[in-house]
Structure 1
Amino acid sequence: MSKKTLVIGASLKEERYSNKAIVKLVENNIEVVAVGLRSGVVAGVNIDTEKLDFKNIHTVTLYLSANRQDEFYNYIISLQPERVIFNPGTENEEFYKLLEAKNIKVEVACTLVLLATKQY
Structure 2
Amino acid sequence: MKNKKTVVLGASSKPDKYAFKAITMLVEKGHSVLAIGQNLGEVAGIKIRTKAIPLKNIDTITLYLNPARQRDYYNYIVETKPKRVVFNPGTENPEFYQLLELNNIKVEIACTLVLLATNQY
Percent identity between matched residues is 58
> Structure 1 length as normaliser, TM-score?
0.98
AA in 2 matched with 1:74: N
Shift of 1:40: 1.4
CA distance in 2, matches of 1:51, 1:27: 24
AA in 1 matched with 2:82: P
AA in 1 matched with 2:102: A
Q: 5+ residue gaps in structure 1?
A: none
Q: Kindly report which structure 2 residues correspond to 1:39-78, keeping only aligned pairs within 5 A, or say none.
A: 39-78=40-79
51-60 or 61-70, which deviates more: 51-60
CA distance in 2, matches of 1:19, 1:98: 27
1:21 aligns with 2:22: yes
User: Is the CA contact (8 Å cut-off) linking 1:7 and 1:35 kept in structure 2?
Assistant: yes
After superposition, give the CA deviation of every residue in 1:47-85 in whole Å (9 maximum; x if it has no partner).
100011122211000000011110100000110000000
Shift >3 Å, 4+ stretches: none
Shift of 1:2: 3.0
1:104 aligns with 2:105: yes
AA in 2 matched with 1:16: K
CA distance in 2, matches of 1:14, 1:57: 25
2:7 corresponding residue in structure 1:
6
CA distance in 2, matches of 1:51, 1:21: 19
1:87 corresponding residue in structure 2:
88
User: Is the CA contact (8 Å cut-off) linking 2:3 and 2:30 kept in structure 1?
Assistant: no
